[in-house]
Structure 1
């Protein structure tokens, strides 16, 4: 059996056709292009792996996207509805509710990334609280020691005060 080789242009056109096939099956697209279904599926896997590995930020979890990437995603998806929006989200590993949350965050926080900054603020406040608790404990111990010394001093004077005079 002779191995068929395809040009880069043919491969790109075949991938475009299969990714925009609508309700048709991959097999029907492969038959139309007169090629093996598994070859086409392997090309699809390779294309998906290359888009994940190109560093475009689309392989990351939605919470790992930077503010700039989130804003760009909101701009790119603006105006898309239903199937087009869902397809756009699938390509980038997102759900529509992620876009809605990002839009709400930008509107509410003025684009300052509310959650991330508030989490850091909470950490800083917890650290400050721990330091204050340590200082309070130290001062309480010092106060208890001073009170004990005063009590001992009174007892000493009561026992030996008459002899000392």
Structure 2
């Protein structure tokens, strides 16, 4: 009877080394720790077995140091029977999605400030993001400038007005959303 052929690595071994197995187990343990830190709402969005979900919930509740350590290791042990790639992808999307959102909000803020500050910025903006109501945009820019001018004359302790400033932000945001959707 012939043995089935297996992959042989560069060192001549047909299975992962102990070190490699240990690294993989530590990676799964770290992934389990990340899952324990998630909110219940986020955990519900992941496809996890009931046993793993219950172990994570119990680890979140455990306050005793040694008990928590044991429960974390139990979660890591259960993680060996789970396909980690979809979980890693979802965690990465949540983490980077918030970065993308922050980056887009900063872009909108910069555009708003540029439009308020510079009269010449409106033409390039309307060329880059066509299809919007230019008259409404001009009106919002004028109102935001007037609001900024009134705010600069306020006394210390008086609350500045931000109504038109925010309205301009929302208008720019809707304009960018319209043009960036395929």
User: Do both proteins adopt the same fold according to a TM-score greater than 0.5, normalized to the shorter chain?
Assistant: no
TM-score between the two structures when normalised by the length of structure 1: 0.29
Of structures 1 and 2, the larger Rg is shown by 1
Structure with more relative contact order (C-alpha pairs < 8 Å, separation 6 or more): 2
TM-score (norm 2): 0.27
